[in-house]
Structure 1
Amino acid sequence: MIRFALVIVGFFAAFPAVAGIEIKEVTSPGGIKAWLVEEPSIPFVALELRFKGGTSLDAPGKRGATNLMVGLLEEGAGDLDAQGFARASEALAAQLGYDSHDDAVAISARFLTENQDEALELLRLSLIEPTFPQVAVDRVRTQVLSGIRSSATDPDEIAGKRFNALVFGDHPYGSDGAGTVESVTALTREDIVAAHQGALARDRLYVSAVGDITVEELGPMLDQLLGALPETGAPMPEAAVVTLDGGVEVVEFETPQSVALFGQPGIHRDDPDFFAAYLLNTILGGGGFESRLMTEVREKRGLTYGVYSYLVLKDLANLYLGSVASANDRIGEAIEVIRAEWARMAETGVSAKELADAKALLTGAYPLRFDGNGSIAKIMVGMQVDQMPIDYIATRNAKVDAVTLEDVNRVAGELLDPDALKFVVVGKPDGV
């Protein structure tokens, strides 16, 4: 129990102020690059790995292979079966996490310094020597199929899948990375081995570490952990073409409340106007109860419990999305109000007070993200994947503050496109 308590303390330990976070670039003897923040005050390390590509790397006709492969990494590795791997991880008080997304395979590790060698060897086995035993393949496949069937009855999932299919078509973004019942059922162990070789390679690897480890220790550790990965993996997909023609599409579903997902083309993180767009969205629908959409749709008219908008930044496409749910007989009015507010902001922009409030919200909340080693490690690896400068943490709030009212109102007119705003409604909407 003492070891487990130490892990929890280390994971949530308060970290120095954002301005005091010093990121060091590390290159291992074998050429593996990483970002490191040394924090020796607690004997604990958080490690984050990202492999770009994710479920978008699935081979034609093998949808769901990468997702299933990632779910099997801790279900048998080296000489350990699934139970042996779980017992070893628990004995070390190590937390190992494996996940897959459209654009990345994400691996997380949290371990005590005293158990570092054993924990890293366990992680290495799962990444380099997974065995993919058929009994585990069948068990995890059953779990994945259960999730797919469950999502087929979830209005939010239905809306998201239909919206992606409309926007991205045959691109991997246009279908669910978990696959379909048919595609997952047909996957073989050989397909999973191929997905492993295609997704986990050094040419798409990003690493961050935070905690009780030094530059001199991290380099050799990375070579031991990751040096045996293949140099190259499967080819990356082409950029996606965002196709949106506006209007409303209804997916009939028996439910008293309709769910709507709406969106239009977005903006790239590298765009000089990104922070202006970020502030614009905070005012329009990303600022919680203070946002315009929440005021107009919920507070003034009582059409929903919540309505939100958000910038979606994928590696191969960018969207500006939002969501709302309302009673079947009121969802039509909610859609009209959202579209009208989208158009009003495009035409008249925002006020100086709205901009000042949005800046205060974004800059004040930013330091709260850095609440422990694990959080910082995740932020740092995300920065690397997004090709952000190493001083971004220190300069981010200044970039927010530098945006002018003229910047935001110009971007509002250029970015917001009510004619391209597409709504996918799942339910039994009246008058839509």
Structure 2
Amino acid sequence: MLRYALIICLALFGATAHAEIDIKQVTSEGGVNAWVVEEPSIPFVALEIRFRGGAALDLPGKRGATNLMTALLEEGAAGMTAQEFQTELERLAASFSFRAFDDSLSISARFLTENKAEALELLRKALIEPTFDQDAIDRVRAQVLAGIASDAKDPNSIANAVFNAAAFGDHPYGSAIDGTTDSVNALTRDDLITAHRNALTRDRLYVSAVGDTTAETIGEMLDALLGELPAEGPPEPGHVAFGLDGGVTVVDFATPQSVALFGHAGIKRDDDDFFTAFVINHVLGAGGFSSRLMTEVRERRGLTYGIGTSLVPKFHAEMMLGSVASSNETIAEAIDVIRAEWARMAEDGMTAEELATAKTFLTGEYPLRFDGNAEIARIMAGMQMVGLPPAYVIDRNAYVEAVTLDDVRRVAAELMRPEDLHFVVVGQPVGLESTQ
């Protein structure tokens, strides 16, 4: 058993609080790997379960199957109706959350120690014995379809849909995980059973637990909870290259304000230069009111209320993305400023003061993320999924501090490509037309 301890000092309201996170790595007799943090001071356990794959495992023509299946996991199990399941969950004062994402399916469970056995048995039924009653399927399908209809009228959702379809084509990343009206309407109970069999498998399983539990006892608990899942799932889709060239796509939409999603290819999470790119992105657009884009586009020119950028290292593609909203009359100017700031970072990097300020913020805010059992469990599961070791919680800030101005100049010149920026603009922008 490996153990890593992180002492976090949090400056809160002028006082200093000390919290120790002691991560223990456990492998059950059944082969389930888990990270555990024992915290017996509160009779409560946060359990986080992730399955790699998620909506990317949707079969051709079955888009939306994983998402719909996941939404049905708490809608009846092992002969229980949806109402009976929820009544039992409330009686136990437990909470379960099931969510599908592009690359993963996540289960978050929270329960009191005194109800642990019953709560875990109820969760086991949801994961292993979902009923998929037709009444529940029809009801939840209607909810999904209502969301799809709403997205079709939302400028931000439209921008995302157009951008992703152009960037990734027929790859699962090229369409929304909800599916389309046609694909969701066509899904059958058998399709959902297949999606369940494909998505919840032990070969892509990551588990973390934080709270009133022990590394010595959790293995048996996890085997009982997850041991009946299929051992292996189907292969994941392959890597897909970012398929958009630089330019503008205008989607005509009657609204006084245009929204724009913009970006180009990004950087892998395990790239040696990822932390340098992380700092660059913070200074450019992820640093809130201190970022360059916020300063130039909002503060100095008043072209928007908000603008931001992010690194998006998916499992099968990498992007650097940004978003902005501006009036139809000013969105073209906002785009010109964004391109100029992109080019300035690529050509000049950043100043020593900007780098120092970014490091201070990024290293200072990191410990604040570990603010509760549930959040710690979530972070640990995410670390496992991207291949980070437990020691990362100790080493992370050192990676940020190690970034130099020379690193920034070199990586910015490689990563920031203003000529490759593509803007999908939804609205009726003045003086702006599609280039392709």
Match of 2:138 in 1: 138
Q: Which amino acid aligns with 1:396?
A: R
* Residue matched to 1:59: 59
Instruction: Tell me by how many angstroms 1:17 deviates.
Output: 4.5
Output the CA distance in 2 between the equivalents of 1:106 and 1:30. Answer: 21
**Which residue is 2:240 aligned to?**
240
CA apart distance, 1:405: 1.1
| Superposition pairs of residues 12-411 of structure 1, within 5 angstroms | 17=18, 20-411=20-411
Separation in 2, partners of 1:79, 1:245: 52
Tell me if structure 2 keeps the 8 A contact 1:17–1:367.
Answer: no
Contact 1:284–1:292 (CA under 8 A) maintained in structure 2: yes
Distance in 2 of aligned mates of 1:103 and 1:240: 13
CA shift, 1:97, in A, is 0.3
Greater shift in the superposed pair: 238-247 or 330-339:
238-247
Q: Alpha-carbon deviation of 1:22?
A: 1.2
* Deviations, residues 275-325 of structure 1 (Å, cap 9, x unaligned): 110000110001000000001000100000011111011111110000000
Q: Does 1:419 align with 2:414?
A: no
Distance 1:424 1:116, change over 3 A: same
Structure 2: distance between partners of 1:229 and 1:256: 51
Letter of the 1:66 counterpart: T
Distance 1:77 1:16 in 2: 43
Query: What letter is aligned with 1:428?
Result: Q
Letter in 2 for 1:72: L
Q: 1:242 deviation in Å?
A: 1.0
Q: CA deviation at 1:216?
A: 1.3
CA distance in 1, matches of 2:73, 2:234: 18
Deviation at 1:431, TM superposition (A): 0.3
**CA distance 1:420–1:74, change in 2 (3 Å):** same
Report the AA paired with residue 110 of structure 1. R
Q: TM-score, normalised by structure 1?
A: 0.95
Aligned equivalents of 2:17 and 2:197: distance in 1? 39
Distance 2:79 2:17 in 1: 41
Determine the C-alpha separation between the residues in 1 that align with 2:231 and 2:17: 37
**C-alpha distance in 2, partners of 1:186/1:319?**
32
Q: What is the one-letter code of the residue matched to 2:103?
A: D
CA distance in 1, matches of 2:323, 2:275: 22
Which letter maps to 2:157?
Answer: E
Report the Cα distance in structure 1 between the residues aligned to 2:234 and 2:100, rounded to whole angstroms. Answer: 16
* 2-structure distance, mates of 1:358, 1:247: 30
- Structure 1, unaligned runs of 5 or more: 1-14
Deviations 1:127-177 (A, max 9, x none): 000010000000000000000000000100000011001110110000111
CA contact (8 A) 1:267 1:274 kept: yes
The DSSP-based 3-state class of the residue aligned with 2:22 is: coil
Give the whole-Å Cα distance in 2 for the aligned partners of 1:264 and 1:376. 32
- Structure 2 unaligned blocks of 5 or more: 1-15
Alpha-carbon shift at residue 234 of structure 1 (Å):
2.2
SS for the counterpart of 1:311 is strand
TM-score normalised according to structure 2 size: 0.95
Q: Which moved more, 1:233-242 or 1:174-183?
A: 233-242
1:345, distance to aligned residue in structure 2 (A): 1.0
RMSD: 1.0
1:390, distance to aligned residue in structure 2 (A): 1.3
| Alignment partner, residue 8 of structure 2 | none
Percent of aligned pairs sharing the same letter: 64
* SS of 2:248 mapped into structure 1: strand
The whole-number CA distance in structure 2 between the counterparts of 1:244 and 1:250 is 14
Partner of 1:430: 430
> Shift in Å at residue 108 of structure 1?
0.4
Asked if the contact 1:25/1:35 (under 8 Å) is kept, the reply is: yes
Distance in structure 2 (CA, Å) of the matches to 1:333 and 1:235: 45
1:16 CA drift (Å):
7.2
Give the AA of the match of 2:29: P
Aligned 8 A contact 1:48 1:109 in 2: yes
Q: Is the 8 A contact 1:159 1:426 kept in 2?
A: yes
In structure 2, C-alpha distance between the alignment counterparts of 1:17 and 1:47, rounded to whole Å: 23
Q: 1:392 is matched by which residue type in structure 2? A: Y
* Alpha-carbon separation, structure 2, partners of 1:17 and 1:64: 45
Contact 1:262 1:422 in 2 (8 A): yes
Post-superposition offset of 1:244: 2.1
Specify whether residues 157 and 17 from structure 1 end up closer, same or farther in structure 2 by C-alpha distance, changes over 3 A only.
farther
